[in-house]
Structure formats: C-alpha cells, structure tokens
Amino acid sequence: MEQTTESNPQELVAFLTLCKDYCALIEHASEYSRTDFVQRTYGYLPEIFSYLSQMPATSTEELEDWFASYTQVISDETVSYYEEQVRALLGEELDLFLHYPVGVAQDGELQPERLSRLLVLIYRELGTPLLVLREDAGELLVATLAILQYAFDTYMGDALLSALRVLHYHKQAEGLEEDSDRWAIEGIQ
C-alpha cells in the first residue's frame, strides 16, 4: 500500500477527489434530476472501479492488524438517510429495476437488490478514507485504503459492477425510448 501513497501521489489525490465528488453526489441527491443523477453516477463508477482494481493487495497479516482496530465511521443512520434520499430520487421502478438481473444469490436464486442500497454501500466505503484523511494522512489513511481495497476484492467490486449494469441498462433503455419518440414525431410530420 505504501506504493500507492508514495510513488503515485497524483493518482491518489485524483482518486480521493473522485471519492469526494461521488460522496457529494449521494449526499445531495435530492438536488438533482433523476436523469442528471444517473448520468453523473454512471460517469463516476467506472473510474472508481478502475482505480480500485489496480490497487496493490496488502498482506493478510497487515490487514488482520488493521481490521482489529478498524471501526466504520459512517453510521447506519447516515446510510439509511441517504439511501432513502436516493430511493426517492430514483423512483421505485429504477430502484428495484427488476428488468435486469442484479442482486445477491441466495439458495440458488437471485434476490433483487435495490440500486439505492448499492450506491449508498459504495458511498459508505468511499467516504471512510475521506473522513480518516481529515484526522490523519499517515498510517491510518494507508490502513483505511488497504481495507477499501480488500472491500473491493470481497464485495464492493460486485456492487460497483451491479450498479453500473443497472445504470447502463437504464441509460440505454431511456435513450432508445427518446429515439423512438423522436422517430414517431418525425414520422408523423
């Protein structure tokens, strides 16, 4: 992890800036139109995925030490509040998005996952290093980034891809609807 923070400080700053922008989008979701929110989110997620997928893994021993003292700094209440805000903005049909198979496999069946839940899960994981950075830019930040990379490998990568799939499908479906509406109007004239 030292490699990420020391040899590529510009990339780390760019990533933390991206995290800050994504978190601000989630925190101010009610101020956006649904279309603008979807487009912005659709723009952030591939960049986040790309950065996290290239982070070097941390040794298991170091991770175990860091996990022993790690506490989630973004509360469940905060997560619930923002999830409700995002859910209200997306609307029920996009939030559940039953047209696309996204969710968690349980007992051999895919259980639908709410898009708002996935987006806020990503928010929680990305927001933690930002809050830690306010207090400590040293070993604690390095540990938090290592835990973020571990979260990406274990479940957050899937959450990012699932959310991106739903947003991509929605964006394409919306674009097709707009095109067919435009063609219908042009065909009439």
What is the structure's pLDDT at 2? 42
SS3 111: strand
Tokens of residue 38, six digits = 């979807």
Distance CA 101, CA 67 (A): 33
What b/e sequence results for 131-169 when a residue is b if at least 16 CB atoms lie within 10 Å of its CB, and e otherwise? Answer: ebbeeeeeebbbbbbbbbbbbbeeebeebbebbbbbbee
Tokens of residue 165, six digits = 């799939």
What is the structure's pLDDT at 60? 76
Per-residue pLDDT of the chain (189 residues; tens, 9 = 90+): 444 444 577 888 899 999 999 999 999 999 999 989 999 999 999 999 999 999 888 777 777 777 776 677 789 999 999 999 999 999 887 887 655 454 555 555 555 678 899 999 999 999 988 887 777 777 777 888 888 888 888 888 888 988 888 888 887 777 655 544 454 455 554
* 96 within 8 A of 112, measured Cβ to Cβ: yes
What is the structure's pLDDT at 8? 74
pTM of the model: 0.78
Closest among 126, 115, 122 to 165, alpha carbons compared: 115
What is the structure's pLDDT at 50? 93
Residue 5: CA count within 13 A, CB half-sphere? 15
